[in-house]
Structures are given as C-alpha cells and as structure tokens.
Structure 1
C-alpha cells in the first residue's frame, strides 16, 4: 500500500496535557503493548513514530467513529477536518449545507463562541499531538536506548532521525495553535505527565518554533529522501516560510527576506511542479512530485471522516448526483461555493484554466440565499477518489486521496508575495513591484494551469498584492490556507472585504478584529488556570 503503516500504540499510555480533565487518552484495544514492551526494540520505536504521525490522520484505534479523546466526538476532532473547517469554511470559499452538524453553522456564519465543539476538537487534537511527541522524546533518550539494549549504531542513528521528525511535528502543532488561537499551553518532554503548562503567547511560540526548526533542519533527511508519509527538510522549511510570511500578524515584525530564503530552499530542494494541476488531488496523489507533506488517507487502512473524505463526498451535487465522477457515493450537496470565490475566475484568461473546475450549468444559482439549500451555489470538481488513470478508490465513502498540507506551488506564491512586500508593497496599494523571478513563479503556475500555453500569463504591470491574494485562492482553494491569507491582507476581521454570509448576513458584513483568532475553548480554560481567554470572547 502507498501509506505509512499507522499504528496507534502510543494512545494507550499517553495522558493528554492542557486539555480538559475528562479528555484523557484512553486505550481502545486490550492488546495494546505497554511502554516497556513497545520500546524494547527498534521496530517498536518506528511503530511509536507512526502513532505520532497517525494522530494527524485518524481519531482512534477503532472504526471511523472511534476517538481516543474521551468525551469528544470523532467527527469534530479529526485534525484535517477541523483545520479545514477553520481555515476554509470560515471564509469566502465554501459553505456547508447541513447546519445541524454541530459547530458548522457558527463557523460559516462567523458567529462562533468558546463553546464551539469544532474549536474544542481542534484545540484538543493539536495538543494531543504535542503530548504524543513529548512522550516519544521522553522514551527515546540516549540513556533509555542504552538501558533497553538498543545500541547498534544504525538503530540509534535511525531513532535519532525519528526524534528530529517528532520535534518538527510538535513544532507544527504549536504553529497551528499560534495561528488559530494566538496562544497555547506550553509543555515539553522535560515536563511531567499531566503538567499544566504555562500560557505562551504568539511571540513566545514563534521564538520556540523558529529555534526548534532551525536546530533540527540540518539533521533531517533531504527533500524527497524520506519514505512517503514522513517529513523531510522541505516540510520544516515550509513551516518557517509560512511563519515568516505572517510574521507581521504574529509578532508585529516583518520577516519577508527570511520567507524568501526559506521558499528558495524549498524550491531548489528537489520537488517539482506536477505537469497536471488536478493530478495533485487524485487518489494516487502520493506519486505527485509536488507534494511536500500530506495528511494520509486510505480507504481501508485509515478510514475516518477527515478532510478529503469530507470534501470529495461533499462536492457531489444535490442536483447532479455526480458521485461516479469522483468514485464516491456523495453526501447530497454538502459543499457549495460562495459567489466571491467563483468570481475570481471571471474573464477570458480563465477559459481554459484547469483550476476552474466548478459547475455553472443547469438550475444552479450563483447566489446562495439559503445556506441549507443544496441547489444554490456552484459545486467544485477539484478533488477526486479516482487515480490519474481513472480507477476508483477501494472504498466509495472513505477515500484514498491524501490532503496536501504543503505543496510546491505554495512556495512559489509565498516567494512572490514576500518579495513584493519586502520591496515596499502594502495592502491596498496598486503598486506593481514584482521582480522577474517572482513573475516567473506566478507564470509557471499559470502555464501549468493552461496545459503549457502562455496565453494566460500576466505581465509585471498586472501583478500587485490584490492580484496575489486572488491568485492564491485560484491555485490553493480548499487547501487550508484561505483564512490565514485573508487575515494577512486585512480582509478578514476588521477589513472591508465582504462575502456571502460573512457575519451572518446574506450579502456579508464586517466582523470584528477579535475574529482574527479563535477563542480558547471554555473546557480548556477550566482545566488549566494558566490559560486566559482571547480579547472579545
């Protein structure tokens, strides 16, 4: 199979830190090994490593409805699904039809509170990743390896690779906490289990993540040198590039030159653009040369209601019943496009653009007068549970398509934006100061989207920051970036850019700047007195 063998043995004995008191990790399998048994061999360490990775894909050790987070539903705590809801459903790209699904109505109407179950799920799942990483690091010290008789040079070296990867995964978890919540309880492997970590703000988290990633990058495997499903230098570099691009939001200081440097390292590292845009979103997208790091999905091994299962089934239109197109049964029009996203493809330059996949024909309306009417709003055709060759995945509900957390095209666009901002571009300005290199990156993506044709290429005079954010949506829609981008461009909380149902108004209305971070879940604050609520909640 294409996927790393995800084994959830760690879930049996790691207690979550800084979540609610009733959200401990619970063993779901009586055959799960104890820590002493698991860590007695080098193979056990690899199985434990798979558990740290696995927390980003699955929710428990049982079926798709199982969750090792006691007291939280699997459907509202799967990492990819929660992340996608927060980064995309809260923006101008997409709406969810079934508002009875807990937490979704408040997110897509921008009316969430600290009691929202999806916010609790994301907070808890992400801090679970920190807990799992910390325990792996505790269990893999040189002293413990020696005491357990694991002394062969090759075994020790490989486990040290695991340790460095786990440190990146922990940094990635804190990166998400910094971006989404603006703060987090801070816990490392030197702290005891059930330790109520102190609250770290964005500046503290930024400093930790930056220091940690720079320390481990030299000791990670080179880009594309690791087995599929495991991270490499490029993944860590992408996290840093994202942080530097958003540094003015996070820490109030520009770091655009640093962003350009990290993007350049990624771009020169060995990944290459897939010649076909849509091949990045098919059931065999693990073969794409563009994928830097993904959330793995397999219709047999990783059955869960995660991001790609939700998106592909959700794409199926209530009017079209076109599940066969994607190799799934579909969920009757669960997902539809907001008008403002569709309009980003207006104009003759997008007539042959492969990124323009939405359906416009038939009885569908562009306007969404009712969020619960699956016949209103266009539908997307971007993701598929079929391979490049057209072979459907092994399961018609749980898809084989991996979710692209980081892919090379994003590095191209981040470089261009960072260069423009470094050279003086500001939000709302019409200045066009893109360099030849940045313009080449933009047009490389345009040519790829148009089957190699240069007809849709843009000139230097057409590229300002407003162009860049629209191009990011055209290239990266439904990939977990949109909310972050809108905030960076001052088009989210406090901005004057409105979209359908923003602020719970059909035509959209402004929302407060407090919405640029999510509230800390009430349950998390109750469990850890070190945490304080974000302003405005």
Structure 2
C-alpha cells in the first residue's frame, strides 16, 4: 500500500461518502453502521484527517456531524473545553451559543459545546473501530497499530474531559458500555503497551515524506502524558510517575544534532525565534520545527480548509488592522487574560499604547511606524519580557477610538479587553507565500519535545520531590532565551512554566486540574467563575457532564456527580 500523506491524499478521503452520525447519536448511542464505498488508502487518510477536518467537502458542506460544522472539529472542540475558562484566554462574544457558561464555569449537561466535543470524539472512534475491524488481517500490523493509536488518543480525551467514555472496540450495532476512571486508564495503558512494539520506530515518520503519521514517538508521548495524570484519572489509586519518566526517556534518548530524531527548535530564521517557528505556516517543511514536533495534526490552506483547525486559532486571535496579520478573515474573538500576561510581566507592565497614540485613518505602514516609535510592537514586548514566548500585541493596530486594556473591567465586551495573542500565525518563516489568505497552513503540534522535558521534570518531582528536573526546565527556558531562570523545582515553578511554554495549545485546564488549582479558591484568575476578580468553584467542575441526550438514549451511560 502506498504511503499516506495527509496533504496529498485528501481526494481519497473526500470521496469516501461517509455520512453524518450526529442524528444517530441523538437518537441512540450506537455506531452508525454504514457501508460506504471507499479505497483503503482513502480510508486510512480519513483516520488522520478527521483530527483536522469537519466533513467531506470543507470548509463547510457534507459535514461529519449535523451541527454548526465550523464548531465541530477535533482541534476546536478540545481547545474550547481546555482553554476558554482558564487563566489564559477569554472569548469576546459572550452571547455566542454555550460560551457564557463555559467562561463562567457553570455549565450543565445541556451545554452545546460540551455536546459537540463528545460527539466529535465518538465519531472519530467509530471511524477507527470500522477501520480496525475491517482491515485487520488485510493491512500490515504497523498500519493497524497507527489507527489503534488514534483511537487511544480520542479515548484519552474522553478520560481527561469526562473521566469516562462510551466504550467500544468493535464495529457493530451494540450499545457502547461505560468505562471510567481506573478501568479506562488501565485499558489505555495496556492498549498503548500492546501497540507500541508494532509501530514504526521512534521518529521514523519525522520526515517530509511521512510527517503527520504516528510512530512510537507519538505513542510514547501519549503514554507519558497519560502516566503523568494517573493520580487524577484514577482518584489517586495509581501514581505512575516512574512510568512517565521512563516513557520520556525513551523519547529523549533519541534527541541530538545530526542523526538524532528530535531536538528543540532553537535557530532564528528571518527574525522569527525558534519558538515562533513551531506555530507558523511552514512548520511542516521547516526542518528545525519538524525536529521538535513529535506528532502534528496536518493542515493546509488549500487542501484541508476548515473553520475548526488552526484556521480557528489564527483567525480568532486576529483583529483587522493588526500589523503582520496572517489572515484576511479576522474574527476578533480570543484575547489574553491578564493572568497570562502576568506570567511574563508579573507587575503588568507590558508595553502598550495609550489613546493619545492612536493615528486617524492609519494604514499598515503608519501602524508599524507608530508601534516602533513608541516601542509597543510585539518585538518590544518580547524584548522587555526577556522571553521569546511573550507573543502579545498591545499596539494601535486593530483599534478604532479605543485601545487595548489588560482586563475587561466588570464585563467582557470587546476583543480589546486584553492583550492580543500572536502566537498562532499563518506566515511562513522561510518567506514563501501562504497557500490561502483565509485558511491556515499551520500544522497543530499535538505532541512536541518541550512537553517531554517538562513532563519528566514534573514526574521526578512528584515521585520523590527530586530537583533533578531543574535541568530539563532550564533547557526549555534556554530555548526561549528567558533571562529569569528557574532555580528550584516546586509546584509554582512547574505550573507557571507549563503556562509560559504551552499557552493556547489546548491543555491548560488539564494542567490546572492536575495541580488542584482549577476549581476551589486556592488559585483565582480574572473572571474565574464569571466574577471580575475571580471566585471559588465547586470541585465537580473538574470534570464535564455527560451530555443529556447521551444518558437519555444510552442506558449504559451514567451522569457524573452533581450534574
């Protein structure tokens, strides 16, 4: 069978004729037992593509799920449930469906955004179950193992978000059964242990020919993340911190210049730092960025158009008029909470424009000139933060008669209620043109090497209070040219470094839960609980509810406590 490349195999995926399963999910929780006509190559491509696309046509039309197609993709649904209520970002338009309860952390079992995420995960698992059932014995073990990895990845997100899953590992008409907590954790642990030896060796697909396919490096990264969260997922019954360290070591043993499979992206290119290049439109063909990205979700502005992939992240953080904007379709939706800014500027003294700095009818050149003159460009923000990861903008671009503030005040009303986040970009670091002005080429790095360093550091600390992980933390900080380095390992150092390195990458809620900071009053942030100064939240919000239509239609699924 020929190799599957996501960017060149879209035609095979698009002609498969797979139909929506949302109606079936709303009526009964069974796998949609369809019999489409497809090529094996197209079906294998679809297993990967369903992580980055939302339907068979794109960006809209012939949707996988019968809902707002742009809202239903894997990246967008997971990102929203991991980020929008945390200390990292706010959504400007609180009247949008289901947004206010997510922001305010008072969601219910009927929240549409929770339902979209649930449906996307079960839809993906349905595809994987069909492929595994029908192709086992026809394809090689390593190809089947790749899809089993993708299935495990989606079950991981069920565990992380809901602490349980409607579980099936077959493709038939039977109802999924409930598998939760320790049982689901152990299934994932065993499944990954089983498939890892079958998969291509570590880093085998970290090249231009196969970038985006899962090899052992991807499986080890998921296994390490799973083990680091073991105590959370099993109510303290399992603490697999040594296992997390061991899986990190399996990856880090393959790090190095030259023949090494992985390395941190360090080298500046055309004025872009190594960190910036990880989130730019050519991160799939930039050798330095590819070395850090262990497993990406592939994106392309022409071949994978969707409103739910990295186009969402690029467009939603952009405001028309911002200098160096990499999209012509600025949604002006997402902006930074002050708590994120303070991870880089503890005193809140980020360079920012005042109303007196505004320029009437300013074009791009005038905006750039004023930003440089007054030293509140993103380059100035980075220079003052002394950390390459401070990718914020507080200049005059995107402003009319108002300027950006650090907080919304008493109510969230505008994308100017906080710093603009410019981490996600469709610009190509090598200077080549982006493939489309509205849709992103930027691959989503679901697992990257920096996570492995921080995971090992945290796991060592949690195992026995070890300070040995300080070297790993400093290595990540060195890559960012951070001036103020960590001098010891403790919970504050770790949780703040997770934020600085991984903000807006769809994991903050999970990290805060692991540190016991997501709910309760130990850590408050701007608009936590819908209150400007933050307020304590009941512990049951650490886990999302099972959607009401799921418990209604599947008697095997029970609701999570207090929902």
For the criterion TM > 0.5, the same-fold answer is yes
Residue in 2 that maps onto 1:45: 40
Residue in 1 that maps onto 2:91: 96
In the alignment, is residue 311 of structure 1 matched against residue 294 of structure 2? no
Residue in 2 that maps onto 1:271: 262
Q: State the Cα deviation string for residues 45-84 of structure 1 (Å, max 9, x = none).
A: 2221111111111111123123544432212211100111
Which one of the candidate residues 161, 164, 178 is aligned to 2:159?
178
RMSD: 2.4
Contact in 2 for aligned 1:220/1:232 (Cα 8 Å): yes
Q: Partners in 2 of 1:10 and 1:179 — Cα distance? A: 31
Residue in 1 that maps onto 2:484: 456
Shift of 1:2: 7.5
Which one of the candidate residues 508, 522, 530 is aligned to 2:534?
508
Shift of 1:335: 1.2
Contact in 2 for aligned 1:3/1:228 (Cα 8 Å): no
Q: State the Cα deviation string for residues 96-117 of structure 1 (Å, max 9, x = none).
A: 1122321222212212111111
Contact in 2 for aligned 1:13/1:25 (Cα 8 Å): no
Which one of the candidate residues 149, 161, 172 is aligned to 1:168?
149
In the alignment, is residue 250 of structure 1 matched against residue 262 of structure 2? no
Shift of 1:307: 3.7
Residue in 1 that maps onto 2:445: 404
User: Structure 1 residues 423 and 434 mapped into 2: Cα distance closer, same or farther (>3 Å)?
Assistant: same
Shift of 1:458: 3.0
User: Structure 1 residues 358 and 338 mapped into 2: Cα distance closer, same or farther (>3 Å)?
Assistant: same
In the alignment, is residue 367 of structure 1 matched against residue 407 of structure 2? yes
For residues 16-27 of structure 1, the aligned pairs below 5 Å read 19-21=25-27
Contact in 1 for aligned 2:167/2:176 (Cα 8 Å): yes
Which one of the candidate residues 200, 205, 223 is aligned to 1:221?
200
Which one of the candidate residues 389, 392, 396 is aligned to 1:355?
389
User: Structure 1 residues 171 and 10 mapped into 2: Cα distance closer, same or farther (>3 Å)?
Assistant: farther
Q: Partners in 2 of 1:55 and 1:12 — Cα distance? A: 11
Q: State the Cα deviation string for residues 120-144 of structure 1 (Å, max 9, x = none).
A: 11111101111111111111132xx
Q: Partners in 2 of 1:11 and 1:242 — Cα distance? A: 35
Q: Partners in 1 of 2:114 and 2:215 — Cα distance? A: 29
Q: Which SS does the other structure have where 2:324 is aligned?
A: helix
Q: Which SS does the other structure have where 1:405 is aligned?
A: strand
Residue in 2 that maps onto 1:291: 293
Contact in 1 for aligned 2:521/2:535 (Cα 8 Å): no
Which one of the candidate residues 155, 160, 178 is aligned to 1:199?
178
Q: Please give the TM-score of this superposition, normalised by the length of structure 2.
A: 0.83
Shift of 1:205: 1.0
In the alignment, is residue 3 of structure 1 matched against residue 7 of structure 2? yes
Residue in 2 that maps onto 1:427: none
Q: Which SS does the other structure have where 1:344 is aligned?
A: coil
Residue in 2 that maps onto 1:442: 473
User: Structure 1 residues 25 and 207 mapped into 2: Cα distance closer, same or farther (>3 Å)?
Assistant: closer
Shift of 1:214: 0.4
Q: Partners in 2 of 1:325 and 1:282 — Cα distance? A: 13
Contact in 2 for aligned 1:14/1:25 (Cα 8 Å): no
Shift of 1:249: 0.5
Q: Partners in 2 of 1:103 and 1:233 — Cα distance? A: 38
Q: Which SS does the other structure have where 2:440 is aligned?
A: coil
In the alignment, is residue 413 of structure 1 matched against residue 447 of structure 2? no
Residue in 2 that maps onto 1:111: 106
Gaps of 5+ in 2: 255-260, 267-273, 348-382, 397-402
How many pairs were matched up? 492
Q: Please give the TM-score of this superposition, normalised by the length of structure 1.
A: 0.86
Shift of 1:504: 1.2
Q: Which SS does the other structure have where 1:285 is aligned?
A: coil
Q: Partners in 1 of 2:407 and 2:324 — Cα distance? A: 25
Shift of 1:87: 0.6
Q: Partners in 1 of 2:292 and 2:55 — Cα distance? A: 30
Q: Partners in 1 of 2:199 and 2:59 — Cα distance? A: 32
Q: Partners in 2 of 1:25 and 1:77 — Cα distance? A: 18
Q: Partners in 2 of 1:350 and 1:244 — Cα distance? A: 37
Residue in 2 that maps onto 1:523: 549
Q: Partners in 2 of 1:2 and 1:53 — Cα distance? A: 7
Out of 488-497 and 355-364, give the one that drifted further.
355-364
Residue in 2 that maps onto 1:30: none
Q: Partners in 2 of 1:48 and 1:54 — Cα distance? A: 10
In the alignment, is residue 467 of structure 1 matched against residue 493 of structure 2? yes
Contact in 2 for aligned 1:17/1:128 (Cα 8 Å): no
Q: Partners in 2 of 1:352 and 1:3 — Cα distance? A: 37
Shift of 1:326: 3.3
Out of 406-415 and 492-501, give the one that drifted further.
492-501
Contact in 2 for aligned 1:110/1:503 (Cα 8 Å): yes
Q: Partners in 1 of 2:502 and 2:24 — Cα distance? A: 33
